[in-house]
Amino acid sequence: MKRNDNLERIPTLPARGIVVFPGMILHFDVGRDKSIDALKAATSGDKRVFIVTQKEGGAFEPTSDDLYKVGVIAEVRQIVKTPDGNTRVLVEGITRAKLIEITETNPYYVCAVAPSPVKNDAAAESTETAALSRLLKDSFRGYNELAPKMPRELYESIIGEEDLQKLFDLIIFNVYIKLQDKQMLLELNSLKRRVQILIGVMKNEISLLQLELQIAEEVREAVEQNQREFYIREQVRALNRQLGFDSDPAEEAEEYIAVIESLGFEPDVEDKLCREAMRILHLPSSSSELAAIKTYLDTVLELPWKIETKDKIDLVKAQKQLDKDHYGLKKVKERVVELLAVRALNPDIKAQIICLVGPPGVGKTSVGKSIAKAIGRNYVRVSLGGVRDEAEIRGHRKTYLASMPGRIVNALKQAKSMNPVILLDEIDKMGSDYKGDPASAMLEVLDPEQNNAFIDHYLEIPVDLSKVLFITTANTTDTIPAPLLDRMEVIELGSYTREEKFNIGKKHLLPKQLKEHGEKATNVKVRDDALYSLIDFYTREAGVRKLERKIAALCRKSAKKLIDGETKVVITAADLKEYLGVKKYTPEMIAKENEVGTVNGLAWTSVGGVIMPLEVVVTEGTGKIEITGSLGDVMTESAKIAVTLARVLAAKYGIDPDFHKTKDIHIHAPEGATPKDGPSAGVTMTTALISALSGIPVKKDVAMTGEITLHGKVLPIGGLREKSMAAYKAGIKVVLVPAENVPDIEEIDDIVKEKLTFIPAENIRTVLETALAVDVKKLTPFAKVNTVTEVVKV
C-alpha cells in the first residue's frame, strides 16, 4: 500500500457489534460483499485491514458519518467458509489508527487512516501505577466472582500480570463491556486514563451483575415456591379423593378468584374479595366459618355487576302501554311520559325518585310495572310495609349467624340487572324501634348524589344504585319523614270517579276475571246497568279492588249456571240481588224539599268524595252551643268561627243580635260514628246557622265547600274533583266553591262539569245569596242595629 504524509490507504472493514483493540486476536463472521472483497484485497497484499466500528448496526452502506473516527489496523490471519455458507475471518489487532476519510467505496471500502498509538504514561515502578494495577485487579476479581467462570489458567495469568498495559489488554479482551464503553476506551490516548475509566466501567458492570443475580434468585425462589405449592395442592387433592371429599379447597378458591378478576372490580374491592377467597384454603371443611365465607362470596358474585338493560324509549309506545294498563290517571301518565322524554334526550341523567301517593286500589303499584314495560327495564317490587329494622334495608353484618344482605341488594339480584325499575311499596308504613330507623337508611338509597356508592352491611363493598329508577308508593305523606319526602317528587293519585270505575270495570276487570274463570264474553255478559249498580250499591272505595272481587263473584255464580246446562248468562242490575244479596250501601240523595237549618256540605274521604249534610237546631235557652258528630279539633274551631260570624251577620238577615244570650244552638254532623275533621265545612256551618236562626230554608239542590274566616272570606280547599263527583251522584245542581279553586274545575270530569253549575265565592255573601231560598236583598234588617256590623262589612 502507498504511504503519503503519514497517511495510509487501507482496505476497510466496517464492523457491527464489535470493537477490536491492538493485540486482540478475534474471529468473527463477515456477511456483506464489500467487506468480503476488502478481506480478499488485504490477503492479496500485506494482509492489513482497517477495522472501524459502525455507530448503528442497521446501516448497510455506511457513510463517513455512520463510522466512529478511531479504529484498529489489524492483520488478517485466516479466512474460511463455514458449513452454513458464511465467511469467517481471524484477525489480530496491530495498532490504533484514526479515520481521516473514505477514499473509495467500490468494490470495497478504502480509507485514509493515520496510525495513532496509545501513549504509555504509566511509569513501571511508580506508586500510582501500582495503585491503578491493584484497583484494576480488584475490580476484575469482583467481576470474575459474579460473571460466568473463565478458565483458571487465564484468570491466574491476568491476576499475575504486572505490566499495566498488558493487564489492561487482557482484561478488556475477556470481560463483557458495552460497545459504546469499549469504543470510548479505544479512543482514549492515555493509558492511565484508560485504566481509570475501565475501573469505573467494571464497577458499574459488577453492580448490574449483582442486580441480575438478585433478580434471578428471587425468580428461582418464586418458581420453587410455586412448585412446592403445586406439589402440596396435588397431595391435598389426592388425600381428599382418598377421604371421599368431592370439593377441593384449592380449586374452589381458584374458581372464586377467577370469577372475581373477570368482573373488573376496583382494585381495593378485588383485593378484599380475593383475600376472602384465599381464606378457604386455611379452614377445615367442617368449619362454620368456611360455609359463611362461601355464602358471602356466592352472594357477591351472583349480583349482576356488569349487566345493564338498554332503554327502549318510544314515547308513542309508552303512552299506548300506559293507556292499555290504566284508565284515567291523566296527570300520572303525563308525568311518566315527560320523564321518559327527558331520559331520551339525556340518558345519563340521574334518576328522579317518584312517589305515587293515593288511596288503596287506585293503581299505584301497577303504574310502576307499566313504566318498566314502557322503557324495557326489568322490574322488581320491594314491600316496605311493617319494616322496623334498619338491617332490612342495609343488610346484616356477616359476622352474625344467618346474616344476609338487605332488601335493596336482594332486589338487584332478583332483577338480574344494575338498572332496573325498583318499586318501593308502602314507604309510608315503615316503622322504627330500638333496632334502628329504616327511613333514615332509605335517605342514602333515594339520594341520587349519594347512592352511587351504597354500602350494604353484609357485602361491605360499594354498590352503584345511581342507574336504578326508584318509584315509591304511599297512601299518605303524613307519616313519611320530611328529609325522606324531600328526596322524592310526589304525584298524587285521587280516588276514581264513578265513570272511571265503570270504564275500568268494563275494559279491564271484567275481561280479566272472565279469563281467570275460564269464561268468554260470548257466554257471560254483564250489562252496563249492572256495573253501575255494583259501583253504587255494593262497593264504596277509592280504588277498584272491591269492585273486582264483586265481578269475580258474578263470574263464579255464572260458572255454576254454565256447568248446570245454561248456554249463556246475562246479568242485569235487577239480577244483582240474586247473585250478591241485598244492597250494601244506600245512595246519597238530596232532600225532597228545601229545609231550614240543613245544608249539603261536601267532604273528601280516602274512598272518594261524599255528601255531608250539616244540621243546626236553635232552641230557647241561655246561649249554650252543642257540637256533635265526632268532629275533630279543626272542625270544632270552624263551628266556633261560624257562630261568631253569624252574630256579625245577624241583623242583616233579620236575626236578633242577642241570640247568643237567649238561644241554645246545636250543630250536628250525621253519621256520628265516623270521625270528621278539616276546615272545609266552614261555609256550610255558617249557612246552616243563618238559616236556622232566621228561619229561611236552604235550597235542596245546592251544595258547598270552603273554609271561612271571621271576616267572612272563603278560603280554598282540596279534593274538589272527588267532592264534585259526590255532588253529581247525589243529584245536586249547584256547587259553591272558593274563588281560588276555579282553576281546579278544569280537572273535573267532563260529564260532571256538564251537569253541575259551579259558582265561585270570595266571601260568605255570595254563598248566602245563592243558597238561601229567598231574595236576600229584600230581607228586612233587624230593628236593633248591631254596632259590630258597621265595622265588619261582608
Q: At which residue does the C-alpha cell 253529581 appear?
A: 728
Indicate the SS3 state at residue 784.
coil
Active site residue 272: no
DSSP state of 347: T
Catalytic residue (choose from 333, 546, 723, 729): 723
DSSP per-residue codes, 258-320: HHHHHTT--HHHHHHHHHHHHGGGGS-TT-HHHHHHHHHHHHHHHS-TT--PPP---HHHHHH
| Cβ atoms of 49 and 10 closer than 8 Å | yes
Handedness of CA 202, 208, 210, 213 (dihedral sign): negative
C-alpha cell at 304: 349482576
Distance from the Cα of residue 245 to its chain's centroid: 42
Euclidean distance between CA atoms 572 and 566, whole angstroms: 16
Catalytic residue (choose from 680, 691, 694, 724): 680
Active site residue 723: yes
Indicate the SS3 state at residue 20.
coil
Q: Find the radius of gyration of the CA atoms of the chain.
A: 52
Q: At which residue does the C-alpha cell 495498532 appear?
A: 95
Q: Cα separations (Å) of 567 from 122, 558, 570? A: 131, 10, 10
Q: Cα separations (Å) of 106 from 37, 100, 579? A: 10, 18, 120
C-alpha cell at 193: 486514563
Distance from the Cα of residue 729 to its chain's centroid: 48
Phi, psi values for residue 437, rounded to 5°: -115, 105
DSSP state of 651: G
Indicate the SS3 state at residue 322.
helix
Beta bridge partners of 10: 111
C-alpha cell at 518: 275460564
Characterize the bridge pairing of strands 625-628 and 663-668.
parallel
DSSP per-residue codes, 730-777: HT--EEEEEGGGGGGGGGS-HHHHHH-EEEEESBHHHHHHHHBSS-GG
Please report, as a single letter, which amino acid is at residue 738: P
Please report, as a single letter, which amino acid is at residue 450: Q
C-alpha cell at 484: 325522606
| Cβ atoms of 721 and 494 closer than 8 Å | yes
Euclidean distance between CA atoms 723 and 667, whole angstroms: 22
Euclidean distance between CA atoms 212 and 206, whole angstroms: 10
Phi, psi values for residue 398, rounded to 5°: -75, -5
C-alpha cell at 759: 259558582
Catalytic residue list: 680, 723
